[in-house]
Amino acid sequence: MPYLFTSESVSEGHPDKIADQISDALLDNFLAFDSDSKVACETLVTTGQVVLAGEVKSGTYLDVQNIAREVINRIGYTKGEYQFSGDSCGVISLIHEQSQDINQGVDRASKEEQGAGDQGMMFGYASKETDNYMPLALDISHRILEVLADLRREGKQIPYLRPDAKAQVTIEYSDNNVPQRIDTIVVSTQHDDFDDDDKMLAKIKQDIIEILIPKVKSQFPSHVQDLFNEAITYHINPTGKFVIGGPHGDTGLTGRKIIVDTYGGKGAHGGGAFSGKDPSKVDRSAAYAARHAAKNLVAAGVADEILVQVSYAIGVVEPTSIFVDTYGTSNLGLSDGEIAQKVSQLFDMKPYAIETRLKLRNPIYQETAAYGHMGKEPKMVTKVFESPYNGRVEKEVELFTWEKLDMVEEVKAAFNM
């Protein structure tokens, strides 16, 4: 019997995502001036206020207040009527030094023997459902909000948009797990005040359906475009007026959108957030490594859908387990346990090996903090960091290294494909 599956995303102006972006901007600046920095930065945003907290061990000093303000302004919170803007909000820093009890388990005389920064389990997932090996409902949800942000910045076609927004997509699947059609699209977007609420709702719904959705649809290949249909149920700002939003409407915290950040409810999640954490925290780095493994396994044809789990004990070098679930889609005559054994041989999951293989000691994290950490296109960029205490640093870095299909041939060779 056909079934429905739903994923959601949130915009860069959502309060929780503001917090994530500030935390990752702080991390990038620490790594830019001291690549060995150990960072765990948490951010809280609310009406007119930002609170920075966490633990840092670094040889550099930053103007964290100014970094936070720059992020807020770049997102688009620049007007006093939002009750939250980069130029006027208060910024309180409660950041202190990392616990020596934790540090002694991570730093070792030999970097190769670096222990995991925490215990826990991390998951990576990949599926042939889309060209970027991501779940389709999440991919469309992300794209809706990215295009909506582009329209907001352009300010011409839909001039009344404000930064806070959410999107949700429901897809109907066949019995054999193939997408058949888009059933429902939900978009809630913050907007300027209107004189007439009824006209406002009608105008927003018309613009979302007639301007936004066609732009989103055009960015997908034809087989995905075919899923868009005249019978889609749209819920556009279903609560009505959405003028009060952002941190004035809802407090934001780092790490509260972990499903948006990963696979939209597909696969699994170990519970650890990403943003604000340097790569010694396996919550982040091992989740990236597991995605890298899962994506290359699916791309190589080992299975059509794969979940990879890796787990750690704090301060211990070797992972405590590696698990694989192919959901019955394996294309080989091997059990999932046998596949997992080969994965452990192909992909070194020791913390330092992950850091070096995926180049995670670089300032690459600001770009991950909105619209998902997975499914993006790997690319080289030049980033510039300026500090009143450290001067100016220009770095060429590679973004989203865990999305590279650089192990496909090795996987095929290992599995005699």
Structure tokens at 210: 């007639």
Where are the domains positioned within the chain?
Answer: 3-10+136-245, 16-112, 120-128+281-414
- Residue among 65, 18, 68, 7 nearest 267 (CA): 7
Architecture of domain 3-10+136-245: 2-Layer Sandwich (3.30)
Query: Which residues are annotated as part of the binding site for Mg(2+)?
Result: 16
- The stretches of 61-196 forming alpha helices (DSSP H) are 64-75, 100-106, 136-154
Q: What is the pLDDT of residues 196-252, one digit of tens each?
A: 888 999 999 999 999 999 999 999 999 999 999 999 999 999 988 899 999 999 999
Convert the pLDDT of each residue in 126-137 to its tens digit.
999 999 999 999
The pLDDT, as a whole number, for residue 97 is 82
CA 231 to chain CA mean position, Å: 31
Provide the sign of the torsion angle of the four alpha carbons 172, 174, 178, 181, taken in this order. Answer: negative
Is the model's pLDDT at 98 over the cut of 80? no
The rounded distance, in Å, linking the Cα atoms of 371 and 28 is: 18
Dist CA 288 CA 37 (whole Å): 19
In CATH terms, the fold of domain 16-112 is: GMP Synthetase; Chain A, domain 3 (3.30.300)
- What does the DSSP 8-state code read for residue 26? H
Contacts 24+ apart (CB under 8 A), 271-275: 271/120, 272/118, 272/120, 272/122, 274/20, 274/368, 274/373, 275/19, 275/20, 275/21, 275/23, 275/24, 275/27, 275/365, 275/368, 275/369
Binding residues for ATP: 14, 164-166, 241-242, 250, 256-257, 273, 277
- What does residue 108 show for φ and ψ, rounded to 5 degrees? -130, 165
Binding-site sequence positions: 14, 16, 42, 55, 98, 164-166, 241-242, 250, 256-257, 273, 277, 281
Q: 86-116: buried (b, 16+ CB within 10 Å) or exposed (e) per residue?
A: beebebebebeebeeebbebbbeeeeeebbb
CATH domain 120-128+281-414 topology: GMP Synthetase; Chain A, domain 3 (3.30.300)
Q: 16-112: same fold as 3-10+136-245? A: yes
- pLDDT tens, position by position, 153-179: 999 999 999 999 999 999 999 999 999
Binding residues for K(+): 42
Q: Which residues are annotated as a binding site for L-methionine?
A: 55, 98, 250, 281
